[in-house]
Amino acid sequence: MSQIKKLAGQTAIYGLSSIVGRLLNYLLVPLYTRIFAPEAYGVVSEFYAYVTFLIVLYTYGMETAYFHFSNKNDDNNTVYSNSFSTLVITSVLLSSLLILFSNWFATILGYADHPEYIVWFALILAFDAITALPFAKLRQENKAKKFALIKIVNISSNIGLNLFFLAFLPSITNNNSLSVIYNPSIGVGYVFIANLVSSFITLLFFYRDFKLFRLNINRELISNMLVYAFPLLIAGFAGMINETLDRAILKYLVADKSTALHQLGIYSACYKLSIIMTLFVQTYRYAAEPFFFSQQSKKNNKQLYATIMNYFVFVCSLIFLGVMLYMNIAKYFIGEKFHEGLQVVPILLFANLFLGVYLNLSMWYKLSGQTKYGAWFSIVGAGITIILNFILIPVMGYMGAAWATFICYGAMMFISYIYGQKHYPIPYNIKICLLVILLSAGLWITSDYLFAIYPMGVLVSNITKLIVLSIFIMVSWRLIKPSSTTELVDEQ
């Protein structure tokens, strides 16, 4: 239990930076969805969908490779300096190409009048890729507090600049002296400028790391790291296809092209309502990856992984039920003109739950060094995503994109479990995990039906929802508690 508490503590610290920071960042969504029309917000969503693909190319699995080789190599500084230097060189080269051909890329994407978008994102990608490894080093050294501080500064500066450009300056547009720094025609471009400046500020925190930069890198070491990381690069690309391809191609697949950006904006805004589930999975991953590697050689480590899965599923199911019960409040997170897409939220919440379970299951191939399986699983998922998006979006619009995501992550979770039990068996209690998930879904469906049939006052409704949540917590806790108690006895 001490190890589980350690993981929970580190998840809490990483969560402070990610949940508090990202929550602050997500507070920009109400701003965007009230300032911008769905079409304009669709532009923001489209470009950030492209960025998620490109950042995988820029980092090419080097973070996980660094974790793997730093644990195997006595000289951690050598591993770090070589991998950091390699990332700097490749980031500069890739961004230089984007900037050099910015006009061509802008025309291809349908933004010929805004090649500056390409230039700004080329710089953002370079800054973010270069800082990826210093952040990984902080995780590897268990410097969660410093990690959290820098992340919060990054997000806070981004929020402050967004508010400055999108809220403060427009309110005083009559002041001609501000025309030098504010041009209303830039519009959504200020979202990108704010991101660029905040990424540069983050880079400054790691200025000392540039002292470790070397042009003369250890070719043997980097070659071995690249061989290890290449399947992760493929898995990362496939993973981004699963995660963001729908937003990148939705405008090209909808039947009514005149509503393409409108639908993209609606879908992207409603996607944000799965924020709590997404943030929990992300912050858990920050802590879990180095934690699982540190437990790899210890006794009963597989039993520990199985116990952690029980608690993980419990928390995710609780998040799902809490969000869906209070959707009447959560929906005001986005502007009213975006509410037509709320029906995608439960689908996306469950999709992200499946993704979180998959991330737990995926540790088997990372721990055993069989990263090729990660690539294959992600490729299968990408294939499902591509096929279903091309089939469902023209028929169902953004609802088709949501169902494609749900089916993709569900399939990847199932396949990873089957192969994992063959190559690196972990005694997961599947019955308990399924019961907890089904209980959360059943309570939501029952409560939703109850509230529809018997309208209640706000006070009675909230009390009823609290009772439903309490029932879920008590029943789920009794389901997972006997399993974890048995495991503790076994370990002792």
In this predicted model, which residue has the larger pLDDT, 332 or 90? 90
Q: What pLDDT digit, counting tens, does each position of 458-475 carry? A: 667 777 887 888 888 888
Q: Return the sign of the alpha-carbon dihedral for residues 137, 63, 66, 410.
A: positive
φ, ψ (nearest 5 deg) of residue 110: 90, 20
State how far the Cα of 420 lies from the Cα of 424, in Å rounded to an integer. Answer: 5
Which of 333, 420, 442, 344 shows the shortest CA–CA distance to 376?
420
State how far the Cα of 117 lies from the Cα of 207, in Å rounded to an integer. Answer: 26
State how far the Cα of 141 lies from the Cα of 341, in Å rounded to an integer. Answer: 43
Looking at residue 151, its amino acid is: K
Check whether 278 has a pLDDT greater than 70: yes
Share of the chain above pLDDT 90, in %: 25
Check whether 205 has a pLDDT greater than 90: yes
Q: 342 and 273 in contact (C-beta within 8 Å)? A: yes
Question: How far from 407 is each of 358, 384, 385, CA to CA, in Å?
Answer: 13, 8, 8
Share of the chain above pLDDT 70, in %: 89
State how far the Cα of 491 lies from the Cα of 485, in Å rounded to an integer. Answer: 10
pLDDT at 101: 96
Q: What is the mean pLDDT of the chain?
A: 83
State how far the Cα of 415 lies from the Cα of 409, in Å rounded to an integer. Answer: 10
Burial (CB < 10 A; 0-12, 13-18, 19+), residue 47, is buried
Q: 39 and 265 in contact (C-beta within 8 Å)? A: yes
Check whether 361 has a pLDDT greater than 70: yes
pLDDT at 116: 94
Structure tokens at 448: 């939703």
pLDDT at 489: 36
Q: What pLDDT digit, counting tens, does each position of 372-395 carry? A: 787 788 888 889 999 999 999 999
Helix 115-140 vs helix 144-163: angle between axes, to the nearest 10 degrees?
Answer: 160
Q: What pLDDT digit, counting tens, does each position of 38-59 carry? A: 888 888 888 988 898 899 899 9
pLDDT at 485: 38
State how far the Cα of 476 lies from the Cα of 479, in Å rounded to an integer. Answer: 5
Q: Model confidence at 106, in pLDDT bands (50, 70, 90)? A: very high
State how far the Cα of 239 lies from the Cα of 463, in Å rounded to an integer. Answer: 40
Which of 286, 206, 269 shows the shortest CA–CA distance to 17?
286
Q: Model confidence at 258, in pLDDT bands (50, 70, 90)? A: confident
Q: What is the DSSP letter of 296?
A: T
Domain coordinates in residue numbering, the chain: 2-491
Check whether 351 has a pLDDT greater than 90: yes
- Listed in sequence order, the residues at least 6 apart from 184 whose beta carbon sits closer than 8 Å to its beta carbon are 170, 173
Q: Span 247-252, mean pLDDT? A: 85
pLDDT at 98: 96
pLDDT at 173: 64
Question: How far from 371 is each of 290, 339, 431, 435, CA to CA, in Å?
Answer: 16, 41, 28, 31
Question: How far from 462 is each of 66, 318, 328, 451, 453, CA to CA, in Å?
Answer: 48, 16, 11, 11, 16
Q: What pLDDT digit, counting tens, does each position of 7-30 carry? A: 556 555 555 555 565 566 677 888
pLDDT at 256: 83
Check whether 482 has a pLDDT greater than 60: no
Q: 356 and 299 in contact (C-beta within 8 Å)? A: no
Q: What pLDDT digit, counting tens, does each position of 387-445 carry? A: 999 999 999 999 999 999 999 999 999 999 998 888 888 888 888 888 889 888 888 88
**Alpha helices for 295-429 (secondary structure H):** 301-325, 327-330, 345-361, 363-367, 371-396, 398-423
Predicted TM-score of the model (pTM): 0.70
pLDDT at 139: 79
pLDDT at 151: 85
In this predicted model, which residue has the larger pLDDT, 484 or 367? 367
| Exposure letters 239-248 (e unless 16+ CB within 10 A, then b) | bbbbbbbbbb
Looking at residue 463, its amino acid is: I
- Listed in sequence order, the residues at least 6 apart from 36 whose beta carbon sits closer than 8 Å to its beta carbon are 44, 187, 188, 265
Q: Span 109-120, mean pLDDT? A: 92
| Exposure letters 183-210 (e unless 16+ CB within 10 A, then b) | eeeeebbbbbbbbbbbbebbbebbeebe
pLDDT at 178: 60
State how far the Cα of 446 lies from the Cα of 449, in Å rounded to an integer. Answer: 5
Check whether 6 has a pLDDT greater than 70: no
pLDDT at 71: 72
pLDDT at 22: 59
Which of 335, 313, 355 shows the shortest CA–CA distance to 472?
313
